[in-house]
Structure 1
Amino acid sequence: MPKYEQPEGLPARLLSSTGMIDACRERDFSKIFELAKTRGGFYPSLIARRCDMTPSRVGEVLTGKRVIKEMSVIERVADGLRIPGHMLGLAQREWETPAALSTDPATPTSPVLPVISERADPVNTLPGVDLDSILAVASGPRLSPSTLRALHSSIEDYWRRDDQHGGEALRPAVVGQLRYVVGMIKEASEGEFRRSLYSVAAELARLTGWTYFDARQYSQARVYFAEALQLAKAIDDHQFMANVLACMSLQGTYEDRPADAVALSTAAQDSARRHGGTPRVMAMLSMREAFAHASMNSHSATHAALAEAHRQFEQISDADPDPAWVTYFDEPKLIVDTGIAHARLGEADAAEPLIADALRREPESNHRGRAFHSFWLATTQLQRGKVEQACHTATAALETATAVDSERITGHLREFHQRLAPFCKEPAAIAFEAQLRATLR
C-alpha cells in the first residue's frame, strides 16, 4: 500500500477562495482550521504538529472555545499551514522568499521567478474552467510580439479602469494574469521574450500592490511592491525599480513613516539617475521626494525638491525614451502635485489656484483623480477660511467618490470632516456632515 504523503501546505485553490481570504483577514482561526480540515486535508492532529500546538488546543479553537491572539502563535500557524504572511497581516515569511533572492554578494544573481510561482500547483493555478482557458492551457503559451502587445494592452486597460472605478474588483483578474505570466516565464527560453515577460510580470505586481495601497491594506501592498522589485531586478530594469520605490515612498507618507518615505524617494532617484533616467522620470521622482519632505513639514527641503521637479520637467523632449509607465506625468499632473505639496505644508495661498486649475482640466472619467484633487482643493479653501466654498467642493468630491471603490479617498473625506470641527455649527458644515453620513455609512 503506498504511503500517505502529508500535504506541504494549504492548496493554492483554498488560499485564493473567498472564505479563506475573509477568515484570514478577520483572523478567524476557527474558520481557518475548519477549512484546512475539510478542504485542505489537514486534520487536527496534523494542524497541531505543524503549528506546534497541542491537539486539545486545536480542538478548542475549532469549536470556538479558544481564540488565538498571541502574535507568536499566529506566526506559527502561518508557517505551519503555509499561509502567506500578508493574508494574516504579517510580514512576508522567510519561506516565501526564494534563496536565490539573497542579498549576499556571493549568491548567484540569475533571474528567479516570483514568490507566487514557488508555491504554485499546476492543477490549482488553471486560469479557469471555461473552454477558452482550458484550450489555452492545453496549447501552452504562444510567445510572439502580438502576445506581448496584448499583455501590455491589458495592463493599460487595468490602469484606466482602476482610475475610473478603483482596483478592488480588478484585483482578482490582475493577480490571475500575474500567475499566468509567471507560468509563461517558466515555459519561455532565455532571450528577449523571457525578459519582456519579466517586465510584464513586474508591472502586474506593481499594479496589484497599488490596488492594495489604494484600499489602505498596506502590509499586502508591501508584499506585491517587493515582488515587483524582485522581478525588475531579475532583468536589471533599474528605472522600473525606481518607479516601485516611488510607490513605496508615497505609501510611507500615508503610514506616517516620513523618514522612510524620504529614504525610499532618494533611493529611487539614485537608481534612476545611475541608469539613464529620463527628465520625465526624474521629475516624477523628485515630486515624490517633495511629498515625502512635506509629510515631515520640512519647507525648505520640499521647495528644493519641487524646484528640481520643475527643472527636470522643463528638459523633457519628444525624443526622450520615456518608459510607458511614466507618461501619465504630464503638465497638469506636475501642476496639481505641486499644489498638493504646498497644501501639505499649509501653504494654501500657493496651493489653491494650482489645484483648481488642474481640476478644471481633469477628465470626467477619472473619478478617483477628481475626488482626490477635489479633497485637496477643499482643504486649501478651508485653510483660507472659505468654509462654505470648501464644503461645496468636498461635497462634489463625495459625490464623485461614490463611483470609485477607494478607501484612500473615503479616508481623506473623513479627514476633511475632522478638520471641519471648529466650524461644526456652520450650515454648510452641517449639510456636508449629513451627506457624508448618508454616503459613507
Structure 2
Amino acid sequence: MPDADRPQELPTRLLTDPEMIDACQVRDFARVFRLVKTRAGIYPSMIARRCELTPSRVGEVIAGQRQLQHMDVIERIADGLRIPGHMLGLARRAWETPQALAVTEREVPQVPEPEQKPPASLPGPDVDSILALATRTSFSTATLEGFRSSIEDYWRRDDQHGGEALRPAIVGQLRYVVGILKENRPPTIQNGLYGIAAELARLTGWTYFDARQYNQARAYFTEALQLAKEIDDRQFMANVLACMSLQATYQDKPADSLALVTAAQDQSRSALDTTSRVLSMLSMREAFAHATLGNRNATHRAIGEAHRHFEQIQSSDPDPSWVTYFDEPKLIVDTGIAHGRLGEAATAEPLIADALRREDRTNQRGRAFHAFWLARTQLDQGKLDQACHTATQALEPASAVTSERVSGHLREFYEQLAPHRQEPAALAFEARLRELLPSVSGSLHP
C-alpha cells in the first residue's frame, strides 16, 4: 500500500513503556486503548477504523464494559495499531520489519575469518507469504496426519522440557492452519483442519497455563472452543472446558472450576461418540473441583464415577488421541491428589507413590509435579525425613523442565516445611535445591 495509507508506527517510547508492556501481556485492551490515545494521539474513532471495530465497541472496551478475547480481533488490533506480535503473545506479524541485528553488528567493524563465508540472510515475511500462496495446492489425509504427528511431538516435548521454548512454533503453525481455513476445500479435509487448529489452540493455551499466564491461556482455550464448535466436536469442547476447569482450581476459583467441568460433562454426554476414557477423565476433573471446594462426599462420589467409567474401557474404543494420556497410573495419581486436596493424606500417599513407580520416566514435569504432591502428603502426616527425601528426588526432573506450575508446587512444599527448616533433613533438601534450581531458590522466602 502507499506510504500515506500505511498505519503509522506507535512511538518507541510507548512500546517500551512498562505500563504498555504489562497491558499487552495480559491483553488489557482498555488500558492499551487509553495509552494509545494519550501517548500516541490515536483517538477511539481512529482505533475503531484501524482495527475494523465499531466505535461503540471500542468505547465499551475503554469503559471496562467489554473484553476482547477472540484471536481474530486481537490480531486485527496488533495489525491496526502496529503492536509487535510478541507483545500480545502472537506470532511475528507480516508487517514487522526484520530485526536490525546485521546493522548493529556493522556498527562495530569486525574482520571475518578468511575461511568463513557470511551466513545467507533469511527471506523476509513477505517472501514467506508469497511462497505459501504458491505452494497451497492440495491437502490430503496424509497432510492432516502430518499435522497430527507434529502435535503429538509437541506434547511429548512439552512433557519433557516444558512449553516455553515450543510456543512460538506452535503459535506459528496455528496461525498457518487458521489462514488456510479461509480457502475452500473438501468437507473432510476442511473439518480435519478445523480439528487440528483447535488442538493447536488448546496446546498453546496449555503452555500459557503451565507458565501461570492465565489471561493468555484463557484466550487460547476460548479460541479452541470456537474452532471445535465449528465442526461440532463436542468431545473436544469437553476436553477444553476440562482444561479451563483445572486452571480455575489454580486461580483459586473453585466455583468456576465446578461450573466449567459440569459444562464439559454436558458436552460429552450430548456427543454420540464419547468414550469411557473421556468420561473417566472428566469425572476426575469434577473430583478436583469438589475437593477444592471442600465437598468431601461429592469428591468421593466423583472419584467413584471416574473409576467406574475407567473399568468400562475397551481396547476397541475409538479414543481421541488427546485423551490417551489418561492411563491407569494417571487415574491412580489423580485419585491420590484429589484425596490430598481434601486433607486425606494417609489415603493419598500410597496411591501417589504407586503411580509414581509406574509413571513414564520421560515425563519430567509429571514426575516432578506428582513427587512434590507425594512429599506434601508425607509431611502432612509428620514424616519429615521421608518427605524431604521425596522432595529431593523431585528436584532433578523439576530442573529439567521449564514449568511455573512445578515451581509453584515446589514453593508450596518449601513454605510447608517452614516449622522444620533447621532439621537436618530439611537443611539437606534446601542445599540440594539451591544447587539444582538456583533461580527458584533465590525467590523463596527464608
TM-score per shorter chain, which class? 0.7 to 0.9
- Check 1:96–1:383 CA distance in 2 against 1; reply closer, same or farther (3 A cut): closer
Structure 2 unaligned segments of length 5 or more: list them.
26-31, 80-92, 98-121
1:418 matched to which residue of 2? Answer: 415
Q: Whole-Å Cα distance in 2 between the matches of residues 92 and 157 of structure 1? A: 41
Give yes or no for the alignment of 1:287 onto 2:280: no
Alignment of 1:25-36 (within 5 A): 25-26=21-22
Once the two structures are superposed, residues 282-319 of structure 1 have per-residue CA deviations (whole angstroms, 9 ceiling, x without a partner) of 00000000011111121111000000000111111122
1:324-361 Cα offsets, whole Å, 9 max, x none, are 11111111111111011111111111111111111111
1:39-85 residue CA offsets vs partner (Å, 9 max, x unmatched)? xxx999992233699xxxxxxxxxxxxxxxxxxxxxxxx999xxxx9
Q: In the alignment, is residue 184 of structure 1 matched against residue 180 of structure 2? A: yes
**How has the CA–CA distance of structure 1 residues 199 and 23 changed in structure 2, closer, same or farther, with 3 Å as cutoff?**
farther
Matched, 1:354 2:351: yes
Distance 1:240 1:292 in 2: 20
Matched, 1:49 2:45: no
1:95-134 paired onto structure 2 within 5 Å: 97=70, 115=73, 123-124=94-95, 129=123
Pick the aligned partner of 1:153 from 149, 153, 166: 149
SS in 1 for 2:317: coil
Look up the SS of the partner of 1:322 in the other structure: coil
Q: Distance in 1 between matches of 2:419 and 2:253?
A: 28
Partner secondary structure for residue 228 of structure 1: helix
Paired position in structure 2 for 1:107 = none
Check the 8 A contact 2:36/2:42 in 1, yes or no: no
**CA positional deviation for 1:132:** 8.5
Contact 2:69 2:219 in 1 (8 A): no
SS of the residue corresponding to residue 315 of structure 2 reads coil
When residues 242 and 114 of structure 1 are mapped into structure 2, their CA distance, relative to the original with a 3 A threshold, is: farther
CA shift, 1:433, in A, is 2.6
Deviation at 1:116, TM superposition (A): 6.1
Q: Deviations over 1:243-275 (max 9, x none)?
A: 000000000100000000011111100110111
Partner Cα separation in structure 1 for residue 199 and residue 276 of structure 2:
21
| Aligned-pair CA distance for 1:374 | 0.4
Partner of 1:33: none
Q: Give the conservation status (yes or no) of the 8 Å contact 1:266–1:289.
A: yes
Given the superposition, is the C-alpha separation of residues 265 and 9 from structure 1 closer, same or farther in structure 2, using an over 3 Å criterion? Answer: farther
AA partner of residue 329 (structure 1): F
Q: For residues 351 and 43 of structure 1, what CA distance do their matches in structure 2 show? A: 52
Q: How far apart are the structure 1 equivalents of 2:38 and 2:342?
A: 57
Cα distance in structure 2, aligned partners of 1:245 and 1:394: 32
How far apart are 1:383 and its partner, in Å? Answer: 1.2
Alignment of 1:235-250 (within 5 A): 235-250=231-246
Structure 1 stretches lacking a partner, 5+ long: 30-35, 37-41, 54-77, 98-112
Measured in 2, the distance between the counterparts of 1:125 and 1:26 equals 20
Q: Does the alignment pair 1:366 with 2:363?
A: yes
Once the two structures are TM-superposed, the CA of residue 423 in structure 1 deviates from its matched residue by 1.4
For normalisation by structure 1, the TM-score amounts to 0.76
- What is the total number of aligned residue pairs between the two structures? 376
1:394 paired to 2:388: no
1:348–1:92 Cα change, 3 Å: farther
Distance of aligned partners of 1:275 and 1:49 in 2 relative to their CA distance in 1, 3 Å threshold: same
Aligned pairs for 1:293-312 within 5 A = 293-312=290-309
Question: Which residue of 211, 217, 222 corresponds with 1:221?
Answer: 217
Q: For 1:324-335, what aligned pairs fall within 5 Å after superposition? A: 324-335=321-332
Q: In structure 2, how many angstroms separate the alpha carbons of the residues matched to 1:119 and 1:393?
A: 48
Please say if residues 114 and 182 of structure 1, whose CA atoms lie closer than 8 Å, have aligned partners that are also in contact: no
Q: Structure 1 44/335 Cα, relative in aligned 2: closer, same or farther at 3 Å? A: closer
- Aligned mates of 2:301, 2:24 — CA distance in 1: 49
Q: 2:270 aligns with which of 256, 271, 274?
A: 274
Is 2:155 the counterpart of 1:162?
A: no
Q: Secondary structure, in 3 states, of the residue corresponding to 2:181?
A: helix
- Corresponding residue SS for 2:163: coil
Q: Does the aligned pair in 2 maintain the 1:306–1:338 contact within 8 Å?
A: yes
Return closer, same or farther for 1:175/1:194 CA change in 2, 3 Å cut-off. Answer: same
What is the root-mean-square deviation in Å for CA atoms of aligned residues?
Answer: 3.6
Paired residue secondary structure (1:186): coil
| Cα shift readout 1:124-159 (whole Å, capped 9, x = no counterpart) | 499x83898864443225311111011000000000
Q: In structure 2, what is the Cα distance between the partners aligned to 1:280 and 1:142?
A: 35
User: Which TM-score applies when normalising by structure 2?
Assistant: 0.76
Q: Structure 2 CA distance, aligned partners of 1:255 and 1:48?
A: 37
With over 3 angstroms needed to count, the CA separation of the structure-2 counterparts of 1:350 and 1:137, relative to structure 1, is same
What letter is aligned with 1:314?
E
Q: 1:406 maps to which residue?
A: 403
Show the counterpart of 2:28.
none
CA gap of 1:46–1:120, structure 2 versus 1, over 3 A, is closer
CA distance in 1, matches of 2:66, 2:161: 32
Q: CA deviation at 1:3?
A: 9.1
Q: Say if 2:376 and 2:413, in contact at 8 Å, map to a contact too.
A: yes
Q: Is the 8 A contact 1:114 1:231 kept in 2?
A: no
